[in-house]
Chains A and B, each alone.
Chain A
Amino acid sequence: MTNTTEPLTKVIPTLHPIYAERVSFRNNSDCAELWQVLDIVCDPELPGLTLWDLGVLQNVKRKGNLITVVITPTYSGCPAVNAMSEDAIKAMNDAGYATVLIEVVLAPAWNTDMISPAGKQQLKALHIAPPRHDDSVDCPVCHSSDSQLLSEFGSTACKAMYRCNDCMEVFDYFKKL
């Protein structure tokens, strides 16, 4: 077991099976150090939220000198994929791996259950309400559950816009997909 993933399990004791499967896949990979290199690569618009935490990073493979990073886009038209690919290549190059290939896969289709518990914490820290299964949206600022939908789409395709009826803050909700 790698050090990066172990503490995550302690933040929230109940792991979603889909995320648990990702953790176990990563832990069984024989390229542990490569996964760790990518732990510094974040979503270009969500500082501190790594590609791993977001669930975009699906696999890292090594064949001789060639490193293949497998990612999956969140939404079909997500414009961040290009930036993420460039950042992943740069992180690999900086760590001394010269030949890096980015492979974008569509299956399994990305869904919000792939987001790690730490990722959800980070979303909250960025004042974005993380996706929930019961559709209740808590204000990420004052934690009130009294919120109101303003628009089905927020600043990006993956978010909706809400307002908190207690502190009146307008915030993004990361939609469940």
Chain B
Amino acid sequence: MKKKAVNTFDIEQQSPLSRFVLGLADDSLVLSHRLSQWCSKAPYLEEDIALSNVALDYIGRARMFYQYAAKIEGKGRNEDDLAYLRDERQYTNLLIHELPKGDFAFTMVRQFLVDVFYNMYLEQLVKSTDVTIAAVAAKAVKETRYHLKRSEPWITQLSQGTNESRQRILRALDELKDFTGELFEMLDWESQLVKTGVAVDRTMLKTSWDGYVQKLLAVSDIEYQDSKLQIRGGRNGIHTEHLGQMLCEMQYLQRSYPNMNW
């Protein structure tokens, strides 16, 4: 007799709304974890605290989305089950969020690129016809504005700093430009949700995002263009090699000691 695995979870079988909310939750949690990896390791104390605080905002956002995702699913799972007991292929975050934290330049460049995106995206998501999603977005957008206020000056400062800091910014941009396209891609089920006013059409944000990023980098004499080759697959559970390693660490306690409490 064929035995069914305990945590079988087929992304394809989820409803569009469920996939949508879970995707947003995964984006937030995975990025939050990457940011939290700076805790006690940042270049200096104030930055250490700042990065941890941004991580905290993202984990708060993740929790609100997971709680809602669990409610939509209605199978008795809670936010922790979704975060700690799903495997790599069941995670549906966009790939840019899962890339390792790299050096400080890489972390700040990624943060800047996603901060610009989230400022535009959440601004629209606030108008979602789904009241819970709209309420989470309304909280998150305020926090994200503040994140950008901090990440943007860092890009300029490091780009115009020493030769070393500039090289590191350029290297980070070079690596990240393969992953930015996915932020603006729509899958069929997400497009369906746009029709009902629940989701936001990501493709509509691309031009203004390009404009914002290019303008800021031009100040430091850097030309920016997304790669033609874009690496994608996050929403379908296809990840880079890095997510599995991250989850091993992040989920270790719950996997080894199930139902362990703080």
Binding site for B on A (CB under 8 A): 73, 75-79, 106-107, 109-111, 150-157, 161, 175, 177
Contact = CB atoms under 8 A, between A and B. Distances in A.
B60 A78 contact: yes
Please report whether the interface of chain B is mostly helix, strand, loop or mixed according to DSSP.
Answer: helix
B215 interface: no
A111 B138 CA distance: 11
B150 A106 contact: no
B149 A76 contact: no
Nearest to A154: B49
B138 A76 contact: no
A75 B135 contact: no
Contacts of A110: 139
A160 to B, nearest CB: 9
Interface in B129-146: 131-132, 134-136, 138-140, 142-143, 146
A77 B150 contact: no
B24 to A, nearest CB: 13
Contacts of B49: 151, 153-155
A154 B63 CA distance: 23
Contacts of B57: 75-77, 157
B53 interface: yes
B142 A177 contact: yes
A109 B139 contact: yes
Given A75-B139, A106-B132, 19 more contacts: A73-B60, A76-B60, A76-B143, A77-B57, A77-B58, A78-B56, A78-B60, A106-B135, A109-B142, A151-B47, A152-B146, A153-B46, A153-B49, A153-B50, A153-B53, A154-B49, A155-B49, A177-B142, A177-B146
Interface string B112-142: 0000000000000000000110111011101
A156 B146 CA distance: 14
